[in-house]
Structure 1
Amino acid sequence: MLKIDKPDIVFISESWLTSRIPSSLLIGDLPYLAVRRDRAKGRGGGTLIIIRDHFHFSIVQSIHDTIECLSIDLLTSSSTFIRLCLVYRPPSYSTSQTETLVECLSDLLSTSSYPIIFVGDFNSDIISSTIPPSEISLHSFVSTSDLTHLIRNPTRNTRCIDWLLASDSSIVHNPSVIPSFPSSDHFGISFSLDSTCLPPSQSLIRDFARANYDAMSTFLEHFDWFTLFSHDPHPEPMYCNFVSVIQHAIDLFVPYHRPKPIVSSYPSHIQNLIRHRNILFSKIHLPSVRPQYEKCSRDLLFQIKKWNQFCEHKKLKNSKDLYRHIRSLTSPKVSIPKELIDSSGTTVSGVLNIVNLIASRFASHFTLDDGFLPTIPSHPLTPFLCNVSFLPHEVHKALKQLSPSCSKGHDNIPQIVFRKCAQAISLPLCDIYNISMQSGVVPSLWKLSLITPLPKPDKNPKLAESYRPISILSPASKTMERLVKQKLAPYLFRFDIIPKYQHGFRSGSSPIPQFSINNVPLVTVPQQRDLGVQVIPSLLNRASIEDRVKKATTVMNIMLRSVSRLSYLGLPALFERRVIYDLVLARRIMNGDTLLDRNRFFTFTPLRCRTNNFGIYIEHTKSTPRYHCFSRRVSRIYNALPSHIHLSPSITRQQDEERKRDNQIDAEEKENLKQWKLDQNKDEWVATMLSMLDEVAKNKRDIEEEVVVPGTTKRTSLADWVVHNGLLYLLGQDHEKKLYIPEGRRKQFVKEIHDSPLSGHLCTKKMVQKLSQEAFWGSMNKDVEEVLRKCERCLMANS
């Protein structure tokens, strides 16, 4: 029904939902939200309201927990509210239970100062002449409350037990009985609201996907930034003027659009069944038509289930579609409740109060700097880092690293504008960055962030501590932060200002604790797998450890003995014993004195470096092992030993053999590199690019000059290309180098990769994806398709 009729609100009584069934399983990726009240005890029952996700509403709390009634206050386009109440009254209700239901309905009616509508399954026939004693109070409530019955036709067999009541009948239009769900024995009720009671429509938003970025870049390139900034050359007014110009460009070149929900529909054969069932429903009063209507409903339910199964099996073929489908069914659409509970247990309501509560909770996680600076040994001749400045091409390169998303900071400029117009705005931003560095002041807009609270899984949504903040900063501030890091990191690493034992948040260093066997004590951590045991901080409390271990398995008993031995010998002693054992076993494996087949697990090969004459590099034949496995432990420990230990006859002999093999490999690589250089030099476009890049190195050509790659309309700047070892490479988004394949080598290159046993004769799409990771040229798709069409093995497999 959601896919065919696309209703705004759906009321379902007797939903039969439980806490084990998430709302996302009902809605999936459709643009709806589910508001539900499940039956607390027993099977069946329950109420469910499915509403458009852009509607603004609040849930009305009820003090009657045993009554299956769900109410919402819906905001209308006239900034007023309308109360919608869904009721389910089981047929087994006694007189006292019906009176409790009437009391609940009276409270909802009396607390509403705006129109109210009751809809649901009351299991009481309003067209019958006789009223059972248990239903008298319900009928008297309707008559004394000036509620109007808007449905008088049968909704189940010959009885009208599904009610539509309104305090103001003028706001309800076209009430009618419609065909039921295929799995329901009740007919449905359909109605529409007056235009004054309709919710506000979705507002227009900017469509940055259809923006004219070429015209925007041209407009910004020809803008006189110098005159604009010269009036007040300070970071605050400069960036405010910059934002106003960008906003004006957005108004000129970015159109508006009204978002339309993406709702999939059923195939034609199911739609034909729905139309046929609607035709039969119009004649259902005839005795001969009802069996046909019931049969058509069963066929429709079967076809819908079959179609859903087909769609799910189709998604199984693509892992990306499969996980997206699973995520849509398992990730609920959640929002912050209208009421929260603070730390003192007080209920907080109101948008402003809830925002302040969440903000204070987030602020409590931040700590102020205590002013204490650690003592860090530094070189006495370390120069000061001063006069830091940025160049336009550096700003352009940093802007190109932004993701092309539409997320906005407090300046209301999305990242995609910074990325698409990087060439045009790099110069004014460079001026703002340099003046900010000189004055030590940044614009105030960079200090503000938009914080979105996201709920933590399996937490109480009514508590403020159940949310974590997601902060969105201005793209301009993030770009400057990246530029500052690029200037600061080389300085810190070059002069060893950052201690060597600092591994957290440091590029190229693992945060795992580092160990040494030379006068460095072993650090005790809560879980240390290097010793093969679990190190518990409270080792002295032996009784509690033994109590827990007695209840564990045999593995835990072994761990108990390890912990006892650990507390007796100490961590350094056990660590030294393991180091000695690892070194002895590694030496025996290298000499071939053991029955262990080293080729089955790993291979020792020489590794020459500046500090050691001989080292160990381990080539693993299986998946990458853990950090504390034997082979990786040996590689770390063995390479830290003094050089004279490596100079034994057996090791020296193996070293000579490995050196000869390396020299042979190096000769092959040099020959291969020489051939690639010859092939690239035969390509006229490559030769032109090499000469242009050489002129850039001599400051005879602008690095921002754009070039068009042959075979494609893609435009790149000279800053995106680099020459390494005499070969031309294109820099990717993450600055990885992609070799440019010359025209005369492309088909041979594709054929070699395609016929490789490691590729397994990939299809065109996967082949292009594989090649794009390491190589680049304009007509890649065309050349790959041409080579694959001539592959005999692929032709035989497809036939």
Structure 2
Amino acid sequence: MGDFAEIVDSNNFDIVGVTETWFNDDVNSADVSLPGFKLIRNDRVGRGGGVCVFVREHYKIKVIDMDFESESPVECLWIQLSIRKLSIVIGVVYRPPNRRKRKSKFSSFVNDVDLMLNYVCPMADCVFCIGDVNVNLLNSSNPLSECFSSYGFDQIIQEPTRVTLTSSTLLDPIFVKCPANFMGVSGVKNMCHISDHRLAFCECYVPGSKRVQKFITYRDFDDFDCEAFLSDLRSERWHSFTREPNINKKVQIFNDILLSVYDRYAPVRRRRISKPRATWLTERLRGLMRKRDRAFATFRRSGSADDWNEYKRMRNGTLAEIRRSKKSYLLAASSDGNEAVWKALKSLNVAKVNARAIPDCLKDAESISDFFSAFNGVAGDDACTDKISYYNSNSNRTEPSFHFKIASLEQIRTIMTGIRTKAVGDDDVTLDMLVHAFPVIESYVQHLVNSCIVAGVFPVQWKCAIGIPLPKTVEPTSCSDLRIISILPLLSKVLEKVLSDQISEYVNDFNLLPSYQSGFRRNHTLLLSPFLNMGVTSALRQVEGKREVSNDRVNNRERGYERDSAHSFKSLAEKPSGPGEELTSRAERCASTTEGVKLIISAISEELYGPIGLGRLVDPLVKEEAKQSASTLADSSGPVDG
């Protein structure tokens, strides 16, 4: 033990897992203990094997009972400890090698691991699984790695842990499930004087301060009286709102009236969140858990075999009921779509959560605001003036000029019905609040929207957004690695939708957009655009003249992409407005290779928009040859500058 103790001491390890201890009843724990460490053992019944864990004395630990009917001769030991209120579970697993007398199926071992992970994952913030699995994991495509990956684990050891003259294998993995910013250095160390296996290790940075308590603010609708609420809302002094000429003050009065009534019937509460609510945990399950705990307490007092068997019966029955409840929960979520399924999996702690943390150096709100304000997408006042002048001087339209119209009450109702977001803007008005109050406030919302349209003013309050920075990379280092989610007040979306619908209606009624424009248009995609009818024939002529495509040159790597490309061109030609059967066969031949597809795309771009390609079409100040090309194509569909 001297050499082993020296390795532990020199590396300052806090927790050490050991496999193949060969401990038995004749070995006293005091004889094999390390100074300053607790020893937890799980010996094999018989010769060899066994696992154990050494944990520093100042940690409070709890041994997790893993008494289940194993399909393989797996040996394991799982412990749970809390470090500054962070719950950590560590497991040491040993799978004996295949022998004539003890031949075990690898699939059975994977099934046993799946049972363990299903049990321990929901009970901890971080889970580590270490040990010797006697399977080479250098190839990550194997059933064991896939099993751990399905629970959100990462295997962090990337070097061989057993090296011989004829082989290099990774037999001693470390599977980790915890936030990325908790993990430090990991790797292997040589200890050939003790074992022919190399020592796998990792560092975990536990936050130095106490866990920050989480609080949520919400409106309490438990005792909400809807009829009394609507009655009080009707009796408010709405005339002060309707008579106010200033739009910004009008919005403020509306919010004040609505929030003041809600404060009386659904007051704001602040509550501390200790842990996520387990939706699958029913009252029946809670009762079974209490009975199981009482049975265990009875066994601890008596120590009798009958009480132990009763506890095991209660424990196994409760575990089976928990699994059935989780399964039913997932099946119910599956009927609501993929989003609900993934949300349910994450709530069960079996799906990997991409928690990308923002470093402290990027948490300054002013710096983020200054950075994104510098890229507002406007090239400058001169550029805007030039574009407006261009459109005014090239306008040959005969349709009437556009003016915004007041919105009907039916339009307001339709728009409100279509809002799905649960986000709360800077005005603290939620969608549920608007829905409950809408029978009373619908006419006032219409009045507010129409007042904005008549005055030509977008309220200042509705321009204020809550910006939430989200990292675009795993380790963001600058503001360019962030993207901002802007949450605007819900009523601002109503006004935006009213204006957007009127603009779209005007543009569509007078056919102001070129027929070949597909971007930013509803029910228009590149595959349905008429520009293909104009350019595909000419493009194929160019491609066929440059080369003859041979199917013999299609390699295996390109087969999938080329098959999809040929199918897309075939679908285009088969449409009623497409070029016909002859073009179908020609497109299939030319699109049978990646190079053929690239030539087709290049030829279409050059045929329709000149040598500058597709990307410059949207700018009205493009080169003269682009305007000539576009005007030629638009003769049958209206002016391009519209």
TM-score by length of 1: 0.41
Bigger RCO of structures 1 and 2 (CA < 8 A, at least 6 apart): 2
Q: Higher Cα Rg: structure 1 or 2?
A: 1
TM-score by length of 2: 0.49
